[in-house]
């Protein structure tokens, strides 16, 4: 067997550079020369020196076949994916590629869809090359996840384009309407008001895209500090204060005071604020939204419950997807972009926690954040300071018109 030819073919099919191919060929040739004369007739095909070692470190599934299509060497991944069973290569598509390469000596590469033993389909990129005069090497790379990511990326770009097109198109039409109605002050005011709404939608969408991009990056949190949960809840409630007052919705805070969690304060406010804002937006007038804080083991559990329209069971598995809306028409009416829950999911995951949801149509929805607590020996004065700011029974009431929105930790019945 010409090991130089085998080395060059092997390096080429593995996708290695010319320099690496030359190095491998030189080393294998050197080893063969040191080995001296052949030690007699071989019982069967033998791998060129070093090939087995290289195969063992490749991420791709690797299979070496002899002239009878029997498996001489296979990586563990090849068995895991069901490509090899016993000493036989299973997928017919790969066998055909191997036979074609053995016949004409050409290196081949194809994208294939293979069926696994569990019934699932596997999208792979297969490369086949001759390995010396008697062997054929197959490398199979699983591309299923890469293709899924590509599809998600394409969908994301399409969704962003669509979401941007709607307010931009509306602004263009409204601007034309304002020009045409320049002699009608009432019409100008009406169209200008609608332009402000569409402009706010566009601004909100762009900001949430920026927020999502920030929380999706793979870098660790940059601004980790002790975050008093009481302050976190108070800021989230304050974000929705005006909308809740307009709808006469009571925001009730209860549970365990004085908890402290480690994290990025702004991100955590954004996550909890999104949940409270959704609860208010999707609740009927004169109802109640509860924010309940509890300790479970070494975790802080923050539950946001509403008495709103609820989420159909079929949608619960998808509501954290980007741009997914249960009711697109209602989301647009409330200014929703379909990104809020995706942002929540990424923020919570970045803080080592999780977010769950349970809902019953016509009854209400509860979103629950579970986040690690700051160890007691690291809290110091943070928990005490936070607890001292909480409104207690008998404390002075909030200013008139907002008493139902002031955070308090009075005992109360749970809401639906």
Q: What is the pLDDT of residue 1?
A: 45
Show the tokens assigned to 248.
Answer: 């006469």
**Parts of the chain with a pLDDT under 50:** 1, 3-5, 7-12, 16-42, 329-331, 334, 381-416
Q: What is the pLDDT of residue 353?
A: 95
Q: Using a cut of 0.85, tell me whether the model's pTM lies above it.
A: no
Looking at residue 313, the DSSP 8-state letter turns out to be G
CATH architecture of the domain with range 143-219: Orthogonal Bundle (1.10)
Q: What is the pLDDT of residue 167?
A: 74
Tell how far CA 275 is from the center of its chain. 19
Domains of the chain, by residue range, sit at 3-142, 143-219, 223-416
Q: What is the pLDDT of residue 189?
A: 86
What is the fold, at CATH topology level, of the domain defined by 3-142?
Answer: Beta-Lactamase (3.30.450)
What is the fold, at CATH topology level, of the domain defined by 223-416?
Answer: Heat Shock Protein 90 (3.30.565)
Looking at residue 128, the DSSP 8-state letter turns out to be E
Angstrom distance (rounded) from CA 409 to CA 368:
18
Write out the DSSP string of 159-179: HHHHHHHHHHHHHHHHHHHHH
**What's the pLDDT tens digit per position in 178-236?**
888 888 888 888 888 888 877 877 877 777 777 777 777 656 577 789 999 999 999 99
Looking at residue 277, the DSSP 8-state letter turns out to be H
Angstrom distance (rounded) from CA 378 to CA 381:
9
Among candidates 61, 57, 60, 6, which has minimal Cα distance to 28? 6
Q: What is the pLDDT of residue 336?
A: 55
């Amino acid at each position: 067997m010409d090991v130089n030819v085998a080395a060059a073919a092997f390096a080429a099919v593995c996708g290695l550079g010319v320099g690496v191919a030359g190095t491998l060929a030189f080393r294998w040739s050197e080893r063969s020369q040191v080995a001296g004369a052949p030690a007699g007739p071989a019982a069967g095909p033998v791998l060129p020196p070093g090939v087995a070692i290289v195969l063992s470190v490749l991420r791709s599934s690797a299979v070496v076949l002899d002239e009878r299509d029997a498996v001489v060497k296979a990586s563990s991944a090849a068995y895991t994916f069901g490509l090899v069973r016993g000493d036989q290569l299973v997928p017919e598509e790969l066998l055909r590629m191997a036979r074609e390469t053995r016949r004409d000596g050409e290196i081949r590469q194809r994208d294939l869809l293979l069926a696994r033993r569990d019934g699932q389909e596997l999208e792979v990129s297969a490369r086949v090359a001759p390995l010396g005069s008697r062997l054929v090497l197959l490398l199979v790379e699983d591309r299923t996840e890469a293709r899924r990511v590509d599809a998600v990326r394409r969908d994301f770009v399409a969704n962003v384009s669509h979401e941007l097109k709607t307010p931009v198109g509306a602004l263009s039409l409204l601007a034309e309407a304002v020009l045409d109605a320049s002699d009608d002050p009432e019409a100008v005011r009406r169209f200008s008001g609608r332009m402000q709404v569409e402009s706010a939608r566009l601004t909100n969408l762009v900001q949430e895209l920026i927020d999502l991009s920030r929380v999706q990056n793979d870098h660790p949190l940059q601004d980790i500090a002790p975050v008093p949960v009481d302050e976190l809840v108070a800021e989230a409630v304050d974000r929705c204060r005006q909308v809740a007052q307009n709808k006469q919705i009571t925001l009730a805070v209860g549970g365990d005071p004085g908890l402290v969690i480690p994290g990025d304060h702004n991100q955590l406010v954004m996550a909890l604020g999104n949940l409270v804002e959704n609860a208010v937006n999707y609740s009927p007038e004169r109802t109640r939204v509860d924010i309940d804080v509890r300790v479970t083991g070494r975790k802080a559990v923050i539950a946001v419950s509403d008495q709103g329209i609820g989420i159909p069971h079929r949608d619960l598995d998808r509501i954290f997807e980007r741009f997914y809306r249960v009711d697109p028409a209602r989301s647009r009416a409330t200014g929703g972009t379909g990104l809020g829950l995706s942002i929540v999911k990424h923020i919570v995951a970045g803080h080592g926690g999780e977010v769950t949801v349970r809902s019953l149509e016509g009854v209400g929805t509860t979103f629950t954040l579970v986040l690690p607590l700051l160890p007691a020996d690291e809290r110091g004065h943070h928990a005490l300071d936070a607890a001292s700011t909480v409104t207690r029974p008998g404390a002075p009431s909030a200013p008139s018109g907002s008493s139902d929105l002031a955070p308090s930790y009075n005992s109360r019945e749970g809401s639906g």
